[in-house]
Copies of this chain bind each other. A is one copy, B any other.
Amino acid sequence: MRRSNGIREVAKHAGVSSASVSRALNRPELVRPETLRRIRDAMSDLNFYPDAMARAFVTGSSKTVGSIVPTIDNSMFSEGINALQDTLVSRGYMLLLANSGYNLETEKEMVRALVSRGVDGLVLRGEKHDREIEDLLGKHRIPCVTVGRYDPAGGFPTIGVDNRKLGRIAMSHLIELGHHRIAQISAVTDQNDRAVDRVQGMAEACSAAGRSIMAARQVDYALENIRQTARELIDGSDGPPTAVCCSNDIIAYGVLFEAVRMGLSVPRDLSIIGIGNLDLSRHVVPGLTTVMIPTRRLWARAGEILIDLLCDRETVKHVEFDVELVVRDSTKSI
């Protein structure tokens, strides 16, 4: 299991000390060219590869960053993870990924697992986190940034957007279009502060306009359940809504698909708005009206900030990104 040729064998073979071999590996400029050559020859003679684990052990750095998302199997997260990944790799880091399954307890366990794998830093969704996480990370001096929710009062750096604003924009759009029968479908707000904020923003828009929501529901991210919820809403005893305000694009897809299956025409019979502007949103038919979140930029920036932190570089603490209404064909005036 263990490697046969260590730094000492190379040293002996090259007639130098192990320290010189180590230097040849890490700071070759400190070694006389002639010596360096001899060492390198010895290395290839002996087919030597430095043991990364010993290295990580002694330097205390694994050049690895951990991240935890509810699930990777969802464009809402995979777009961001992908961007984070690219940023990290371009800086010589790698991504150790974990799923929380929307569960704070699991998230905590995953943080432990990640920390115990020796990650140098962590990127978390900007949701509520278990208190213990802060302690653990503090104790291990592991920098952490959170993404998705801008919060100047956050303990960790937050790279995100104003989720209340997101909700307000979406709901206001529907109101301005003249809708009175507006239903709302949100992600489960239980352990998700972003969903809470969005719902709150939607409520603000309503009360500012003196309106009220016709019906409000919460769903998880399974299209199956989203569709069923949409069906119940449309078939409801109070009659169907003329518009539905969804707290994210995935939910909007579900509503869209179900509405069309039920024979409704979107946007003629039903207007639908999402939040997020996932890649798919401009391709589905009709194109989904939504509020754009620059997900990829968010995560890429989060990666950069984390690496700044890891290198003890000066960096910003909180970053807010702009969001923006994207009107397509799934909404129309009443």
Contacts and interface: CB of A to CB of B under 8 A. Distances in A.
Nearest to A98: B94
B139 A49 contact: yes
B57 A57 contact: yes
Given A53-B118, A62-B117, A78-B78, 14 more contacts: A3-B140, A4-B139, A49-B139, A52-B115, A52-B118, A56-B117, A57-B57, A64-B117, A73-B75, A73-B82, A89-B98, A89-B113, A97-B97, A253-B283
Interface stretch (A35-43, A193-201, A254-262, A268-276): A254-262
Contacts of A261: 285
A52 B114 CA distance: 9
A86 B115 CA distance: 18
B254 A283 contact: yes
Interface in A122-136: 135-136
B1 A60 contact: yes
A116 interface: yes
A223 interface: yes
Interface in A50-100: 50-54, 56-57, 60, 62-64, 71-75, 78-79, 81-82, 85-86, 89, 94-99
A119 to B, nearest CB: 9
Contacts of A99: 82, 85-86, 89
Interface of A: 1-4, 47, 49-54, 56-57, 60, 62-64, 71-75, 78-79, 81-82, 85-86, 89, 94-99, 110, 112-118, 135-136, 139-141, 223-224, 227, 253-254, 257, 260-261, 279-280, 283-285
Nearest to A227: B283
B279 A257 contact: no
A47 B139 CA distance: 9
Tell me the number of copies of this protein.
2
Contacts of A89: 98-99, 110, 113
Given A47-B139, A52-B117, A63-B117, A78 B85 contact: no
Those 10 A-B pairs whose CB atoms lie nearest each other, nearest first? A57-B57, A73-B82, A53-B118, A52-B116, A223-B283, A260-B285, A53-B57, A52-B118, A73-B78, A78-B78
A45 to B, nearest CB: 14
21 contacts: A4-B139, A47-B135, A47-B139, A49-B115, A49-B116, A49-B136, A49-B140, A50-B116, A51-B116, A51-B118, A52-B115, A53-B53, A72-B85, A78-B78, A86-B99, A89-B99, A89-B110, A96-B96, A223-B283, A257-B283, A261-B285
Contacts of A117: 52, 56, 62-64, 94
Contacts of A47: 135, 139
B227 A60 contact: no
A179 B242 CA distance: 41
Contacts of A223: 279-280, 283
